[in-house]
Chains A and B, each alone.
Chain A
Amino acid sequence: MRGLLLSMLALAVGASAASAQTMRPFSTYRQWHGETSTSARLEFAAGALRLAAGRPAELYRMDVLYDADRYQPMSDFDAARGDVTLGLRTAGNGGLRVVSKGQLRQTASVTFSPRSDLALAVALGAVDGDLELGGLRLTNLELEAGASRATVRFSEPNAARCRDAVLSSGAAELTVLGLGNSRCDRIAFEGGVGRVTLDFGGAWTSSSRVSVKMALGAVALRLPRQIGVRLTLDKFLATFDPQGLVRRGTAYLSPGYDQAARHLDIDITTAVGGVTIDWLE
């Protein structure tokens, strides 16, 4: 036992010494000059990421602590097109660092102005992400979560009408909370392996269509009772318990679907795994 502990201690000390990083802080921001819309792309390969609405007087801000040996900060605004690219790019000569999550000490905090319409594209690598999108004026969302554990929240209603929210993940654990506040006309999720939780709570102001494609993993749906839900399922070796839904033809409908003012139509395609439903009161 003692020998094992000693080995672990030596391993931990050796590993931490081997992976000594040169952490460097970097900040960038841009004042808001009356821009009505912005298109933002955020790339973050590894570490912890927080995204939220920021100060109205700043179009965007990023504070990052990064591994200067392997990454370079990105901050590039194209004034003509209103595009901004933020995040970290690999330095090109450091190679890929394979470490435990505890050693990924890179952190980033990104905020966007709640005054400007925002089309947001986020690409995450091995990231522990917390994306609070409530309070923003989100018009479009693209999220690629490679091997991340990410939580996307809409704690407040989206201040703008969102056309599409396209979420994809490789081998990730993705939780999306308050999709009712997102005001997105179409929501699509495509996942490889992992677990996805889609919470459709929030203030529904319009109907929405949702498409979920999951190869191998669990899909958990949290559905509100106050809107009409229609679910179609294409599954191969997946389990599904349609609790609270009534089968009509090839679809499962919530009671009172036809009379509901707003509808949520969900199409699920899954190969192996399970689909579970929880009802939100």
Chain B
Amino acid sequence: MRAPSRRVALVALAALVVPRLAFAAPRLNPTGARAVELVHGFWSLVSDVAGPTADTQSPHPAPQAIPQASAGQAPVPLDDLSKPTAIEAQLRSALRPHDGALRITVPNGTARLGDFSIGSNESISGHLLVVQGTADIYGKLLGNLVTVGGDVVLHPGGVVSGDILTLGGEVRDEGGEIGGEVRTFRSTSVLATPIETRPAPPSAIETLFRRLAGAVGVFLTLGALGFGLVMFGRPNLEVVSDTVSHSFGRAFATGLLGQLLLLPTFGMMVVGLILSVVGIVLLPFAVVVYALLVVVAAVGGYLAVAHAMGETYTRRRLALGVMIGSPNSYRYLVVGLGALGALWMAWALFGWVPVAGDLIRGAAILVTWLLGTAGFGAALLSRAGIRENFAGRLIPPEALTDEYLWATPQFGVTAAKRPGSRTPTRGL
């Protein structure tokens, strides 16, 4: 790479890395939690691209009254909340939708679905059950209050004359008055399946942009990592890349075996360290180092595959006489990642097409796994680019004769005919 372009690459890399470091610095800790966080973040990024995105924050359903249950269904009395687990069991049974509709009877009270608030000049008599919504109390509730899957916010001036029970929520007392007891279960299994909380599926355009952004983000991240790898570890990257090119089958088999042995190896390491007693101290560090090594081998191997693809493509173009400005590792990587990313881009663009979209996605996953496995295997075979045995670079042992030092090789490489040299004439 020429000096100016190298400088530009350095500045770009610094711009990518420095803010991240500055942000991460205060949170560095010696336990390796950061590394785990990084790995987790990376995989969640990948899963964002690989799978359909789902909004984990289920919004509350539209506020509405829950109609009274039919005669056959048992009512849920909220007069006595001193046995919260009993109330929870009753609600678990009562809140199962019957015939697709939610119905519940609260004697001396009302039941609501979704957010509900009592205004500052309002006063409600009787018990109140709020399901999957926040109960905002500005006014007065003359009775008990129960929420399922929602919080209670008691605003200044708000009054609940009776007890409060929250199942799967919390009570935020911001200056109100509670006549009775407050009982809180932060988690509950009352609503095993949320009621009417499925958010509307995102539109096709939204899905398309989301997928495109995810794919571009992942491959930009891989590009940044690859540039860093080329800048600081080019010899190793090239050896792994050559190993992929020259021993693809062997690398794939090794990668497959490596994936199968990942967990057993980890288990053996943990047990071994525990049995050695002294090694117990090293166990947390060993676990973190092992995880990091696996991630580095997988990501590095994948980048090496991209490098190998880019190199092959570029050399073929050069062989065809196409003029290419700077055929170097950066270009190889960009070309290779572009090729690998193209499949995911195709999925992002056409993933909405029935059947074909799933096929493209399956193909993208399969190809990524195949190449990732080969890259992982190449990283293992070459010991992270230290061993060149499978990179096709070593001279065969039979060539290492005394004559090799001065004579033209007799095999392997065709002896070049030097211009101007004369073919010895027999008899001269």
B113 to chain A, nearest CB (A): 25
Establish whether residues A77 and B181, one from each chain, have CB atoms under 8 Å apart when the complex forms.
Answer: yes
Q: Is B39 engaged at the interface, CB distance under 8 Å to the other chain?
A: no
Q: Which residues of B contact A73 (CB under 8 A)?
A: 84-85, 183
The CA-CA distance from A26 to B183 in the complex, in Å, is 7
Q: Is the CB of A31 within 8 A of B183?
A: no
Q: Are B274 and A30 in contact (CB under 8 A)?
A: no
Say yes or no for B73: interface residue by CB 8 A criterion: no
Stretch with Cβ within 8 A of A (4 or more), from B184-192, B211-219, B299-307, B352-360? B184-192
The answer, yes or no, to whether A248 is at the interface (CB within 8 Å) is no
Q: Which residues of the partner chain B approach A9 to less than 8 Å between Cβ atoms? A: 271, 274
- 0/1 interface trace, chain A 212-248, chain B, CB 8 Å (1 if under): 0000000000000000000000000000000000000
Q: Which of A5, A27, A29 contacts B275 (CB 8 A)?
A: A5
Contacts of B187 in A (CB 8 A): 24-25
Contact with A along B169-183 (1 / 0, CB 8 A): 000010001111111
Q: How many residues of B contact A (CB 8 A)?
A: 20
Query: How far apart are the CA atoms of A209 and B54 in the complex, in Å?
Result: 69
The one of A2, A27, A33, A79 in contact with B183, judged by C-beta atoms closer than 8 angstroms, is: A27
Q: Is A72 an interface residue (CB 8 A)?
A: yes
List A contacts of B274 (CB < 8 A): 5, 9
- CB pair B184 A31 closer than 8 Å: no
1/0 per residue, CB under 8 A from B, across A1-25: the answer is 0100110010000000000000011
B185 touches A25 (CB 8 A): yes
- The answer to whether B182 and A30 have CB atoms under 8 Å apart is yes
**Once the chains are docked, how many angstroms separate the CA of A29 from the CA of B184?**
9
B82 on interface, CB distance cutoff 8 Å:
yes
Number of interface residues of A (CB under 8 A): 19
- Chain A hits for B173, CB < 8 A: 31
How far is the CB of B374 from the nearest CB of chain A, in Å?
Answer: 37
Bound complex: CA A135 to CA B128 (Å): 38
The answer, among A6, A26, A33, A72, for a CB contact under 8 Å with B184, is A26
Distance of A75 Cα from B186 Cα, bound (Å): 16
* Structural contact, B185 and A6, CB atoms closer than 8 A: no
Contact B85 A72 (CB under 8 A): yes
Residues of A within 8 A of B82 (CB): 75-76
A25 touches which of B179, B181, B186, B271 (Cβ 8 Å): B186
Tell me if A206 counts as interface (CB < 8 A to partner B).
Answer: no
Encoded as 1 (CB less than 8 Å from any B CB) or 0, chain A from 24 to 43 comes to 11111111010000000000
In the complex, the answer to whether B180 meets A77 with C-beta atoms within 8 Å is yes
> What residues of A have a CB within 8 angstroms of the CB of B275 in the complex?
2, 5-6
Given contacts A2-B275, A6-B275, contact A27 B85 (CB under 8 A): no
Cα(A236)–Cα(B401), bound, Å: 101
Please report which residues of chain B, range 214-243, place their CB below 8 angstroms from some CB of chain A when the two chains form the complex. Answer: none
Residues of B close to A77: CB separation below 8 A: 180-181
Interface residues as binary, A66-81 with B (CB distance below 8 Å gives 1, 0 otherwise):
0000001101110100
Q: From known contacts A2-B275, A5-B275, A9-B274, infer whether A28 and B181 are also in contact, taking CB-CB under 8 Å.
A: yes
Given the interface pairs A2-B275, A73-B85, A75-B82, the reply to whether A27 lies near B184 with Cβ below 8 Å is yes
* Min CB–CB distance A254 → chain B (angstroms): 49
Query: Could you tell me if A75 and B85 are in contact, using CB atoms closer than 8 angstroms?
Result: no
User: Are the CB atoms of B178 and A24 closer together than 8 Å?
Assistant: no
Contact, CB under 8 Å: A24 / B185: yes
A26 to B178, CA, bound (A): 18
Whole-angstrom distance from the CB of A220 to the nearest CB of chain B?
Answer: 38
> Are B184 and A28 within 8 A (Cβ)?
yes
Kindly state the separation between the CA atoms of A24 and B188 in the bound complex, as whole angstroms: 9
Nearest CB in chain B to that of A91: its residue? B85
Contact A75 B180 (CB under 8 A): no
* Closest beta carbon of chain A to B293's beta carbon, Å: 25
* Distance in angstroms between the alpha carbons of A79 and B82 in the assembled complex: 12
- For this complex, 23 residue pairs linking A to B, each with C-beta atoms less than 8 Å apart, are A2-B275, A5-B274, A5-B275, A24-B185, A24-B187, A25-B185, A25-B186, A26-B183, A26-B185, A27-B183, A28-B182, A29-B181, A30-B180, A30-B181, A31-B178, A33-B179, A72-B85, A73-B85, A73-B183, A75-B84, A76-B181, A77-B181, A79-B180
Which of B's residues lie within 8 Å of A, judged by CB?
A: 82-85, 173, 177-187, 271, 274-275, 277
9 A-B pairs besides A26-B183, A28-B181, A76-B181 with CB distance below 8 A are A6-B275, A9-B271, A9-B274, A28-B183, A28-B184, A29-B181, A30-B180, A31-B177, A31-B178
The 5 lowest CB-CB distance pairs between A and B, nearest first, are A76-B82, A27-B184, A28-B183, A30-B181, A72-B85
